Amino acid sequence: MKKGVSLLVALVAVVFVGSTVLATGGPEVIVLHAKKGDVHFQHHKHQERAKCGECHHYKGPDGKQVIDEKAEHAQKCENCHNKSFPNKKLNKPMKAFHKNCKDCHKKHKAPTKCSFCHKK
């Protein structure tokens, strides 16, 4: 009986958490581990200000970049941003994050100092 109740509670929790993540468009916070200190990226706060396509993109069937406004095709950044990426300025996820994040922060007059995002 206890196992059945525990299993039911676990199942309800998984369904609730899963539906919350799907309904809200992703996790509230994403932790990006970095040498200079982890970045606790406030995903939901950024969703309020930006469109998904400003960060999420993918390669279409023709190999060209497609902006994904619903982030349905979101995949790990390092799937593309790796040593084989043709633009050496963007050949690591960290380089892509720094370019995209700093440009956006400058545009919106938000902090751009390393310590603002990187917490030790």
Ranges of each domain in the chain: 28-119
Q: How far apart are CA 55 and CA 58, in angstroms?
A: 10
The predicted pLDDT at position 14 comes to: 40
For domain 28-119, is the CATH number 2.60.120.620? no
Q: What is the DSSP string of 54-112?
A: GT-EEE-TTS-EEE-TT-TT---GGGTSSTT-S-GGGSSHHHHHHHHHHHHHHHTT---
Residue numbers in the chain where pLDDT is lower than 70: 1-24
The predicted pLDDT at position 1 comes to: 54
Q: Give the H or E element holding residue 14.
A: helix 2-24
Q: How many CB atoms lie within 10 A of CB 28?
A: 13
The predicted pLDDT at position 15 comes to: 40
